[in-house]
Amino acid sequence: MKTFTKLAFAPALAFAVLTPFAAANAGEKSEDIVVTSSAEMQAWQADATRSLNRALQRSPVERTATPGPGIVQVTFSLGADGRPENVELYNSTADWSAERSAIFAVRRLGDISDVPVSNPAGAQFIANIIFADSVAEHDDLARELTASEAARLASGSPASDFIALGS
């Protein structure tokens, strides 16, 4: 059903759930990412997820091209105003329209500097957004994303220090 796919695309099948990850190679850094409260992080996750999903729904790309299925990862840091800056495509298995929609959505996030970590200004973030045409395809891509995130976190590279949006 075409309407279901379109409605499911933004709020349900293109998603971001925020999850904190501490630095894996903290010995080399003086500014570890430390979550100050699990309950606060869950509340922050819910708010940021709603903001990102609203921004995905407003993407101008969606009006001209339907984003193809895949996973889009976008990295960013926080500016002085608490909004995303230095927004860059990190990795993608989707098409250009999904990539542009994801970048648009991340850039449109409001002030998220209330993230409950010890040093929000020094934190790096990665938004993991899944685009899918069906629930079954979404579930398959979610399993793929889970495996790639586990590998990213275990790598010990600078990317393993990112606070992830999406799981």
Structure tokens that stand for 151 in this block = 């590998």
pLDDT tens profile 116-144: 888 888 889 889 999 999 999 999 999 99
Q: Which residue has the higher pLDDT, 160 or 79?
A: 79
Q: Answer whether 113's CB lies under 8 Å from 77's CB.
A: no
Beta strands across the sheet bearing 163-165: 18-19, 163-165, 124-131, 70-78, 84-92
Per-domain boundaries in the chain = 2-165
* Strand residues in 46-152 grouped as ranges (E): 70-78, 84-92, 124-131
pLDDT of residue 2: 31
pLDDT tens profile 8-26: 333 334 554 433 333 333 3
pLDDT of residue 108: 92
pTM above 0.85, yes or no: no
pLDDT tens profile 56-113: 888 887 667 788 999 999 999 999 999 999 999 999 999 999 999 999 999 999 898 8
Tally the residues of the chain. Answer: 167
* Strand residues in 9-69 grouped as ranges (E): 18-19
User: CA 113 to CA 109: how far, in whole Å?
Assistant: 11
pLDDT of residue 40: 85
